[in-house]
Amino acid sequence: MKILAVDDDPTILDMLRDSLTKPLGFDLICAETAEDALNLLKDDENSFECFLLDIILPGVDGIELCSVIRGLQSYKSTPIIMITGSQKHDLMENAFRAGATDFIFKPLNGVELAARINTAGMLNASMRREREAYHSLAELTELMKIRRDESFDLNVIGVDDLHGFENRLLRLPEGCYAMNLFAVKLPQIRNIFGAVTAQEFCTQMVCVAEATVDALAQDRFFVGHAGSGMLVGVVMGR
């Protein structure tokens, strides 16, 4: 896994190298500023699979950098783990809104960091496989306002977009969980999407999402809209 770490503290960067490169075999590239990181992203030879961003950086801070990275088509769903010494709730909220996947707090623990990276990577790979499986359904016209494979917010209580769903799972307290994974998918999604307006398609997805939430009302669950007419979810064991 190729990782870009951005931190202006050389001690932190040395610790990351010691924890992630030799023992685990990660390919770690380091930058000390957001500007340096963005220059690395412009290099076509660099294709990163995970980002580690310190929140406090000189000039452009880590949250703003996170937002810029998330706006790049190649990194729409790549794990972005924020590094911080603060546990302020509003700081974390701002980072999540910018597209952060997870947090890890200073002082860094190499074992915990590696586990977070692996977890985020596996979740991202799973979601990517789902999207690729339905990639052939992604034909669009200029008149359509939404993509049928897009994970947009349905504005249904209990249903997140894909990033929100990932964040909820990654922020679960440490422990052993019994989980049931499921997916709900509209059949013949290509035909449906081609026959209705964007608004009608959204309305259909909202109805499916509301019915799914109602069916799970007695359980503890997380549901996310994955795009391509699909909802993915987790029901926590009792």
Q: What is the pLDDT at residue 59? A: 93
Q: What is the pLDDT at residue 90? A: 85
For residue 203, CA distances in Å to 15, 22, 208, 219 come to: 50, 51, 9, 25
- Looking from the CA of 235 toward its CB, the CA atoms found within 13 Å total 12
Residue type, 54: D
Query: Which pLDDT band holds residue 142 (cuts at 50, 70, 90)?
Result: very low
> What is the CATH code of the structural domain delimited by 2-128?
3.40.50.2300
Query: Which pLDDT band holds residue 134 (cuts at 50, 70, 90)?
Result: low
Q: What is the pLDDT of residues 148-205, one digit of tens each?
A: 556 778 889 889 988 889 888 888 877 767 888 999 998 888 888 778 887 788 888 8
Domain residue spans in the chain?
Answer: 2-128, 136-236
Q: What is the pLDDT of residues 5-44, one digit of tens each?
A: 999 999 999 999 988 887 788 899 999 999 999 999 998 7
Q: What is the pLDDT at residue 22? A: 77
pTM to 2 decimal places:
0.56
Q: What is the pLDDT of residues 43-71, one digit of tens each?
A: 878 889 999 999 999 999 999 999 999 99
Strand pairing partners for 4?
Answer: 29, 51
